[in-house]
Amino acid sequence: MNSSKHTGFTLVELAVVLLLVGIMGSIGLTALTAQMANATNAATQKKHEVIKEALSTYLRKNKRLPCPATTNTGLEDRQAGNPGVCTGLFGILPYATLDLPKSVAIDGWENLFSYAVSARWTLTYGTVADPVTTTVAADAFGVGADGDIIVKDRPMVAPYTPETTLTSNAVVLIISHGKNGLGAYTSKGTQNVNPEAGTDELANVTVPTWVRPAAFYLRNNTDNSTGAFGAFDDNIQRLSANTLIEPLIREGALKSPEAMWEEQIADINNTLIGDMFLRSRCSPLGYQNDSLSESAATQQARFITLMSNNDIPTTDPWGGTLTYSAGGFCRLNTDGTYKTSSCDSDCGTCESDPIEAFTITTTTPSIVIKPQMLTSIISAKASLLAGCKTP
C-alpha cells in the first residue's frame, strides 16, 4: 500500500508565518521611520550650526546682524530712512544677505527657517546716520549689549502653570517648524497653514506685519494635538550675546566690553581736560560763564555735543547712559589755584583745597568711575597751566 507524504503548509502554519512576517515588517518599518526621523533632525541641527557660524562671520565683518527677510529671496528687509530700521524683527532667515545658499536655509522637512533678532543688534553707531547706522549709541550694537528676546516653557500637566522663562535676553532665534511644518514658509515662499489658536506653536509663527511676539515657546515635543496648548515639534536655536561675541573677542576681531570701556573713559577724560585748557579761564565744561550758574541739563547738553564732535559714545559698552557734572570752580590760574565765583576778576589769594574738576557717572550699576581731581590733572598736565590766567 502506497502512503502519501504531506509537503505543503497547513492554513494554521501559513497564518503563523504571515503573522511573524507582519510583526518583523512592523518592527523594521518602525526602526526605519525612527532612523529617518533621526537623520532629518541631525540634518536640521547641522544647518543650525552653519547658520550660527554665518551670523558670527557677518557680525565680524559688519559690526551688526541682518534684519529678517520677508520674502523667499533671503535678502534682509529694511524700511527706507537713515537709519533704516528692520521692517520687522521676526521673519524668514536672510540667507542671501548672510551669503548662504538657499539649501542651507531649508530645514530637514523642506521648509525655510524662521529668524528673530534683537533690534539693537541690527544697527551700527556713528556720528552720521545712514541706512544701517544710527547716531544714538543706545540703539546700536555694542559688545556689552544683551538681546531682548524672551523664550518660555510651561509644564504640560494641569493647570499648566507657572510658565518658566528660559531666557529673557537672547539675541537671535533660529526656528525650524518641525515635521508638522505648521506656519512655516516653504522654499517657494508660500506659508503653510498656521497652528490652531491657543497653541504654543502659534507663538513661534511669523505674522503678516513681521512683528516679533512678546515671547516664544520651547517645550518637550509631543504629537498629541488634542492636549492643552497643542502638539509641539518646533526646533529652536537660541543665540546669546556671549555665544556670538566671545569667539570674535578670542580671535581679536572685537574688543571685550572691559577693554572698550577702558579706552572710552580715557578718551572722555582726555577730551574734557583738553577742552578745559582751551578755554580762556581754564574752566570745566559747563561753566562757560562768570559763575557756577549753568544747570545740570545745560552741562549735560554741552557734554553730549562735545562727545559727538569727537566721535565718542555717551553710553558705555553695556548700554548705560553717561552723565557729566562739572567741578565746583569757574577759573583755574597759572599757579594751580582756582576761583568759585566772580571768575572774570583777579584774586589776591585764590582757593587751593582739593576739588573735583568733573565727574562722569553711568547707569550701569557695576561701573564705578573715579572723579577727575584737579590736583591730579595739574600734576599730569602742568605745562598746560601756562595758558591759564594769572591770579
pLDDT per residue as tens digits for the range 157-166:
888 888 999 9
In angstroms, how far apart are the furthest CA atoms of the chain? 152
pLDDT of residue 280: 84
Do 324 and 341 sit in the same domain of this protein? yes
Task: Residue 215: name the closest of 168, 257, 279, 154 by CA.
Answer: 168
Q: Looking at the 3D structure of the chain, how many domains does it have?
A: 2
Grid coordinates representing 15?
Answer: 497564518
Instruction: Give Cβ neighbours of residue 128 (< 8 Å, ≥ 6 apart).
Output: 135
The span from the CA of 71 to the CA of 69, in Å, is: 6
- On whether residue 333 sits in a domain, the answer given is yes
- Is residue 5 situated within a structural domain? no
Residue carrying the nine cell digits 537623520: 39
Distance of CA 7 to the CA centre of its chain: 77
Based on the domain organization, do 242 and 267 belong to the same domain? no
User: Which range has the worst mean pLDDT, 170-179, 257-266, 290-299?
Assistant: 290-299
In this predicted structure, what is the pLDDT of residue 76?
98
Mention every residue, 6+ apart, whose C-beta is less than 8 A from residue 79. Answer: 85, 86, 87
Q: Are residues 263 and 239 in the same domain?
A: no
> Rounded to whole angstroms, how far apart are CA atoms 322 and 150?
27
Give the Cα separation of 67 and 87 in Å (integer).
8
| Structural domain for 369, as ranges | 255-387
147 & 237 share domain = yes
Supply the pTM of this predicted model. 0.80
Q: Is there a domain that residue 65 lies in?
A: yes
Q: Are residues 273 and 182 in the same domain?
A: no
Q: What is the pLDDT of residue 27?
A: 64
- What's the rounded Cα separation, in Å, for the pair 313 and 261? 11
Query: What are the distances in angstroms from CA 43 to CA 14, 74, 176, 201, 322?
Result: 43, 20, 11, 21, 47
Q: Do 242 and 260 sit in the same domain of this protein?
A: no
Q: Tell me: do 310 and 243 sit in the same domain.
A: no
- Residue identified by cell 540667507 is 95
273 and 237 in a common domain:
no
Does the pLDDT value for residue 23 go beyond 90? Answer: no
Contact 326/340 with Cβ under 8 angstroms?
no
